[in-house]
Structure 1
Amino acid sequence: MACFTADQLPVLSTLAREFAVCDRWFSALPGPTWPNRFFLHAASSAGLDHSPDPVDTVRSKLSGYTFEHGTLYEALDGKGLPWRVYAGDALPQVSALAGMDLPTTVEHYHHLDDLAEHLQDPAYPAAYTFIEPNYGHVLTHGGDFRCGNSQHPLDDVTDGEALIKSVYEGLRRSPLWESSLLVITYDEHGGFYDHVPPPAAVPPGDRTDPEHSAHGFRFDRLGVRVPTVVVSPWIPAAAPAGTDSSTDGGTGSGTDGGTDGRNCNLIDHTQYDHGSLLATVERLFGLAPLTDRDARANDFLHLLSADAPREAPRTLPDPAESGVSWKAEAAGPADPGRPVTATLRGFVETAAIQEARLHPQEHDRIRQRAAGIATVADAEQYLSDITAQLGRAGLRIARPPQG
């Protein structure tokens, strides 16, 4: 989390200085993207402790990944609370969840480029909005993440800064601003070391699929910390130096108010993990917890302690100039004969689940096709084909790739 200076990340740094930084937000498990994302949506990964591999694709439950107690989206539906997904491309990982069938995605999914405009509507309907970025070349031509805005290596981190700026400024200009809460976080840490050891975790306690377990992990330990900034006009400005501005949110861990010379407004030392997002939404809207993980997780509602919505910047600094030169390069397959990477295999898995929704009677053919994808060129062709089919079916996020 100290890899970049404030000058290199002026957007996120400004939000950190203005609102609240959670410095003990841990990923849900010491593992990769897929199970951590599932914990963000379902407070469980149903036992999945690894990224999809060719074997998973062959035996994939093409109806999507299921959870004993469902997902946050199903819980919101059960309470009559509308939700939306805004995505930067046609294959967001959230689509791998069971329940994200074609009618549901056509109704609830929107393209990320439309978010700022939609937020200007006083009648914006969604109680909960999930934003998933554009993954760049990994989808457009089977390469790496370059030319997206997800802040994955080898992408340019400043494009992710532009995304954060766009979301914040769209929300800040919105009539929804005074009733809003924006959480900026990351699914996992992307590395191997942190000086803060991951603490013990509450296992979800739900039913698991033995086929999902590659490592026998018991989900009794959290993963490495991830950066998280919480943004809301209900987060108070820090008290002046010399006054007592500490709160503990019922955890005894403390929230430090900023003082002169500090680079943050509030630093929240409460222990969180991805289940905390669900816990916060559930307690805010009166939803039942999905698993033991979110039932026992700390929420961050105590951060919203201002007496009234306070003033906040209407605009943020422009992202830094990175000097990256490859943005002007024409997209095209890089090493088309190269074997499919683990990351790319995950997108193939998502595409196969989506294809099964388009062609529900053809699961055997879809499994065989997806399992036979061995090279970058194979994956490029498959992802392009499924994206085009989704576009013809009316999915708003299935737009032709740019650049």
Structure 2
Amino acid sequence: MGKILPQVEHIVVVMLENRSLDNMLGWLYADGSAPAVILPSSSARQFDGLHADMWNPVNAGYFCGDPPQKAMVGRGTVCGTIPDPDPEETFDNVSYQLYGPQTPAAAPSWPMQGFVVNYATTNTADATQVMQCHDCCQIPVLAALARQYAVSDAWFAPVPSQTWPNRAFAHAGTSNGRINNGSPPDPFAWDVPTIYNVLQAIGSSWSVYSDTLLTPSLTRTMFPKLWDPLLNAHFSRFTEFVDACACDTLPAYSFIEPCFMLQPNDQHPPHDVQAGEAFLHEIWTAVSTSPGWNRTLLIITYDEHGGCYDHVLPPAGAQPPDAASAPGDGGFGFDRFGVRVPAVLVSPYIAAGTVFRSASGVPCDHTSILATLRDWIGIAPADMLPSKRIAAAPTLEQVLTLATARSDLPSIAVPAANWQPPPMSTPLNDLQKSLVSGSARRFGLDPATTLNGIQTRQHAIDFFKRRPTKVNS
């Protein structure tokens, strides 16, 4: 069997944080507009986005038979930091968001109606803000790329839970049976081979680029099998990605991390989405002006939905990746997907206005990236990660439909730079805590003891300043 995507020499993935498809792109094809290309062509002709009549109950009594007090879905958010505070995203909280108080079921009584009631547990002043979804004018970079190239309306997070399990599937095809980050996260519970170990072993080039000057790579922090000092050269700053684009020296596979801590542009609620928009524009500019533009595929996605509203119930029938996951923590069989997240593919071989879904009957999730890498590079089965989820995943080959590269280049304006980082006194979110605790383990410290003394962003920044750590160390 021949390799797929012969016109591509570089695949670049950027993974942002904690946003559902509806939250970011649910209004993409509103007002009667329709995509120009649907893949596969036999699937529904309309983008599966938001409609003004969608709602969630505000009152928990609704689940006991009371009339609903409806919070309608909102077109647009009041500001770039909505929702604030951060919604819940652990496995049990996500289950409530998807099913209400009911046990997960194939045909639940209240599908996708638990978001507002669950968000109220965060002590927010207004739980209905979780129903506010960005209008395209508020996220012009992401929306323009989605319209000018391809977006999926059926790309699901691999696990109905939080960051580490979902990022682990993107890097390793498994979360080693873990359904939550951990309290605190311990990298040795995630000690599995990654796609980077595979690429290293077969001699294929790769780099992880992080947009930070202070904290280490989250990807590297998560996996002890990436701690080998011999891999240092593969972990670089984002500025080196920009330079590699300019010089046409990108590796075969690039993974880009946003900044999670100091000047956060990861779009993790309540971090300002405008910071992430500016970051995406930098990535787009670097890739689209590169001499290697016609040979590059850019994939933009999000690790998980982060408690943000989406109207589509995640499908069952997911393939458990390994013995550790059948079942894993809490008896979960890894046989259900997580909530939909944005997935935008950018290449001059993609027709404008494309909307894609899986053509195989198995939904796309983050392991579709790994399946694509496998078939694009031609990784032999004996060398590839053993995850059964990857083996079942559809590739992205169908999305690049054009025989020749497009000569047009969309003009995307630079976003306004008027966003502000959160105060230094802000408590750490779960991802930031995990970066501290994972780094503590790598530094030879006790993760729980270390976290006890680190409550705010300032504390975390001081922790990393005391232990000067280059991104590639």
TM-score range, shorter chain: 0.7 to 0.9
Corresponding residue to 1:41 among 152, 171, 181: 171
Residue 203 of structure 1 corresponds to: 319
Tell me how far apart the structure 2 counterparts of residues 314 and 162 of structure 1 sit (CA, whole Å): 16
The answer on whether the counterparts of 1:8 and 1:320 sit within 8 Å (CA) in structure 2 is no
Given that residues 173 and 321 in structure 2 are in contact (C-alpha distance below 8 angstroms), is that contact kept between their aligned partners in structure 1?
Answer: no
Question: Could you tell me whether the CA contact under 8 Å between 1:52 and 1:342 is conserved in 2?
Answer: no
What's the secondary structure of 2:330's corresponding residue?
coil
**Range moving further from structure 2, 28-37 or 74-83:** 74-83
2:334 and 2:374 map into 1 onto residues whose CA distance is 22
The one-letter code of the counterpart of 2:398 is H
The 8 Å contact of residues 169 and 316 in structure 1, kept in 2 or not, is answered as no
Q: 1:282 aligns with which of 360, 367, 374?
A: 374
Asked if 2 retains the 8 angstrom alpha-carbon contact of 1:171 and 1:177, the reply is yes
Aligned pairs, how many? 332
* CA contact 2:173–2:389 (8 Å) conserved in 1: yes
Whole-Å Cα distance in 2 between the matches of residues 309 and 44 of structure 1?
Answer: 35
The residue number in structure 1 matching 2:107 is: none
Q: Is the aligned partner of 1:130 residue 2:255?
A: yes
Structure 1 residue 101: Cα displacement: 1.4
1:389 matched to which residue of 2? 467
Matched, 1:76 2:199: yes
Structure-2 separation of matches of 1:344 and 1:48: 18
Q: Partner residue of 1:306?
A: 402
> Is the CA contact 1:235–1:303 (under 8 Å) kept in the aligned structure 2?
yes
Structure 2: how far apart are the matches of 1:174 and 1:66?
A: 36
Query: Which residue of structure 1 aligns with residue 434 of structure 2?
Result: 346
Q: Which residue of 2 aligns with 1:167?
A: 283
Q: Secondary structure at the match of 2:151?
A: strand
Distance 1:209 1:304 in 2: 33
Task: Give the aligned residue type for 2:283.
Answer: V
Q: Distance in 2 between matches of 1:225 and 1:161?
A: 20
Change (3 A) 1:372 1:77: closer
What's the secondary structure of 2:247's corresponding residue?
Answer: coil
For the residues of structure 2 that align with 1:379 and 1:236, how far apart are their CA atoms? Answer: 43
Aligned to 2:364: 272
Equivalent residues of 2:325, 2:333 under 8 A apart: no
**Segment drifting more, 290-299 vs 90-99:** 90-99
SS of residue matched to 1:230: strand
Match of 2:451 in 1: 373
Deviation at 1:350, TM superposition (A): 2.1
Change (3 A) 1:78 1:46: same
Instruction: Give the Cα–Cα distance (whole angstroms) in 2 for the partners of residues 199 and 313 of structure 1.
Output: 36
1:121 to 232, 238, 247: 247
Moved more, 74-83 or 178-187: 74-83
TM-score norm. by structure 2 comes to 0.64
Partner of 2:392: 296
Give the direction of change, closer, same or farther, for the CA distance of 1:374–1:396 in structure 2 (3 Å limit): closer
Unaligned ranges ≥5, structure 2: 1-21, 27-132
Q: Deviations over 1:90-115 (max 9, x none)?
A: 23320111222152452111111332
* Structure 1 gap ranges (5+): 141-146, 238-264, 357-365, 399-403
Give the SS at the match of 2:452.
Answer: coil
| Counterpart-to-counterpart distance in 2, 1:4 and 1:41 | 29
Which piece of structure 1 moves more, 126-135 or 189-198?
Answer: 189-198
Q: Please report the TM-score for the alignment, with normalisation by the length of structure 1.
A: 0.75
Q: Distance in 1 between matches of 2:337 and 2:438?
A: 26
Pair 1:99–1:315, CA change in 2 (3 A): farther
Preserved CA contact (<8 Å) 1:87 1:131: yes
Separation in structure 2 between the aligned mates of residue 346 and residue 177 of structure 1, nearest angstrom: 35
Distance 1:118 1:279 in 2: 25
Give the drift of 1:207: 3.9
CA shift, 1:163, in A, is 0.8
- State whether residues 163 and 181 of structure 2, in contact with CA within 8 Å, keep that contact through their aligned partners in structure 1: yes
Structure 1 residues 315 and 218, CA, compared in 2 at 3 Å: closer, same or farther? Answer: same
Measured after TM superposition, the shift of residue 193 of structure 1 is 4.5
Paired with 2:392 and 2:264, the residues of 1 have a C-alpha distance of 36
